[in-house]
């Protein structure tokens, strides 16, 4: 199975400041079809997960443009350009290149 | 608007069975693969199972293989998860999600499965 490792596991951020989360996979996430199936999910407290980013850098419908994804191969990053109060929650990377799909441990974003 | 409504969770004894359902609406169910993902209390997300849009192809996590069966009824826009030989470690909130091969686009609110003797 592909192991997904996120850092940091906790990220206290000042409102209006940027935040960045790293996700590394134990093997390349490039699929045989040439795509890289790496997504980012947000889980606000008491809520189900919500898709933010798919295929490394594509924002899902309705996701604010302060969220961006980047990376390639085994190293990926989610950035929030200016953190707002509603961004508090746990963020997960997940790979769908190979079954079983695997998630990172989650990164808790909180306001300082 | 995409809606996914899970049901069927509850309190069950170890060794028992449950069948979860996920009623889908707001999209063309027959053209989408689907997934089940679970979250143990206070823990992270664990993918459980996926199924193709036709139901012909299924995938399972090793932790549930041979005990859980995913299926779908495209005439009823409903996804199922039959869970047998349940164990204490199966206690979790079970989510259904739209999509399996590229990403999981939309998620339901979840249904809670609790194992207790």
- Cβ-Cβ contacts under 8 Å for B68 (sequence gap 6 or more): B48, B49, B60, B81, B82, B83, B84
Report the Cα B49 to chain-centroid distance in Å. 7
What confidence category does residue B117 fall into, taking pLDDT thresholds of 50, 70 and 90? confident
Residue with token string 């027959």: B30
User: Over 90: is that where the pLDDT of A20 sits?
Assistant: yes
Residues of B in contact with A91 (CB under 8 A): none
Chain A contact for B23 (CB, 8 A cutoff):
no
User: Over 90: is that where the pLDDT of B44 sits?
Assistant: yes
The chain-wide mean pLDDT, for chain A, equals 97
Work out the minimum CA distance from A87 to partner chain B, whole angstroms: 18
What DSSP string describes A60-101?
Answer: PTT--TTEEEEEETTEEEEEESS--GGG-EEEEEEE-SSSSP
C-alpha atoms less than 13 angstroms from C-alpha of A76 in its C-beta half-sphere: 33
With an 8 Å Cβ cutoff, the interface of chain A facing chain B consists of 1, 35, 37, 39, 41, 43, 48-51, 54-55, 60, 90, 92, 94, 96, 99-106
Dump pLDDT digits (tens) for A51-73: 999 999 999 999 999 999 999 99
């Amino acid at each position: 199975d592909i192991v997904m490792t996120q850092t940091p596991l906790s990220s206290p951020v000042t409102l209006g400041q940027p935040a960045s989360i790293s996700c590394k996979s134990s093997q390349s996430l490039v699929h045989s079809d040439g795509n890289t199936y790496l997504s980012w999910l947000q889980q606000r407290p008491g809520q189900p997960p919500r898709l933010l980013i798919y295929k490394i850098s594509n924002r899902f419908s309705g996701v604010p443009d302060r969220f961006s994804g980047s990376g390639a191969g085994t190293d990926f990053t989610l950035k929030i350009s200016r953190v707002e109060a509603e961004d508090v929650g746990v963020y997960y990377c997940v790979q769908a290149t190979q079954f079983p799909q695997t998630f990172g441990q989650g990164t808790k974003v909180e306001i300082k | 608007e995409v809606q996914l409504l899970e049901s069927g969770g509850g309190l069950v004894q170890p060794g028992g069975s449950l069948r979860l359902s996920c009623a889908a609406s707001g999209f063309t169910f027959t053209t989408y693969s689907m997934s089940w993902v679970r979250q143990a209390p206070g823990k992270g997300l664990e993918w459980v199972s996926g199924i193709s849009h036709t139901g012909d192809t299924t995938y399972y996590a090793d932790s549930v293989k041979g005990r859980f069966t995913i299926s779908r009824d495209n005439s009823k826009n409903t996804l199922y998860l039959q869970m047998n030989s349940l164990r204490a470690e199966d206690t979790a909130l079970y989510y259904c999600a739209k999509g399996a091969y590229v990403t999981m686009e939309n998620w339901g609110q979840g249904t809670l499965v609790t194992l207790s003797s």
